Structure formats: C-alpha cells, structure tokens
C-alpha cells in the first residue's frame, strides 16, 4: 500500500483541505462553488461520531510528528512496510522539523 499522494504525478493525492471558517466572509460565488462540490459528492464532511468523521493534521502542526510516527508504527505492526516508510517520510519533515512549525489554531 502507498500514500495516495505518491501514486499521482502531481503529488496532490486523495484529499484537499477547505478552511470552512473562512467561508462566511467569502464571496457568494465561492460559497456556491463549495455547495456544488458538496452536492456532487466531492467533499466529505461529517459530524463527530459520523461514518465519515475525520481529523486533519497539518505537517506544520507542532504536534504532528509524534502522531505520524505512532501512525507509521501501527502500519508497520500491520505489515505495511512501504506505507509506514512513506508516513515516516512525512513525519521527518513535520512538527518541530517543519520550517513553518506552529501550534494548531
């Protein structure tokens, strides 16, 4: 298994992050565009406890590195050596090793 972002030439991967807090002040066209993406099934959103609940960790998050290392170790314990290595590559440049490291907001 490989990280989705490592399967494409552009490296963009499977997901993008939308900063929903900024939508309230956005022009109506942007809100409409997001609504179209949601309606079309291109955006995954769910409430806590929902089937599609998620938690995003930005690499610049000060706490990202230990979380990613733990994730990689769990994948490794499951025999996913290549995947664990790719996650460890992310971990190596995350958290306090990231040039834009900051506490999450």
Q: With a cut of 70, say whether residue 7 has pLDDT above it.
A: no
Output the pLDDT for position 3. 73
42-73 tens-digit pLDDT: 998 899 999 999 999 999 999 999 999 999 99
Residue with tokens 């309230």: 24
Closest CA to 45 of 72, 68, 16: 16
Whether residue 35 contacts residue 41, with contact meaning beta carbons closer than 8 Å, is answered with no
Model pTM greater than 0.85?
no
- Secondary structure (3-state) at 55: coil
Tokens of 73: 């170790």
Residues 6+ apart with CB under 8 A from 70: none
**75 pLDDT higher than 90:** yes
Instruction: Extract the tokens encoding 72.
Output: 């990689």
pLDDT of residue 103: 96
């Amino acid at each position: 298994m490989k990280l989705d972002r490592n399967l494409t030439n552009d490296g963009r991967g499977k997901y993008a992050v939308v900063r929903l807090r900024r939508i309230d002040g956005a022009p109506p066209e942007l809100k409409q565009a997001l609504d179209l993406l949601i309606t079309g099934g291109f955006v995954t959103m769910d409430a806590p406890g929902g089937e599609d609940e998620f938690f995003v960790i930005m690499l610049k998050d000060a706490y990202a590195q230990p979380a990613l290392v733990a994730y990689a170790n769990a994948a490794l314990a499951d025999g996913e050596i290549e995947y664990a290595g790719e996650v460890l590559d992310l971990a190596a440049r995350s958290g306090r090793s990231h040039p834009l490291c900051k506490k999450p907001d």
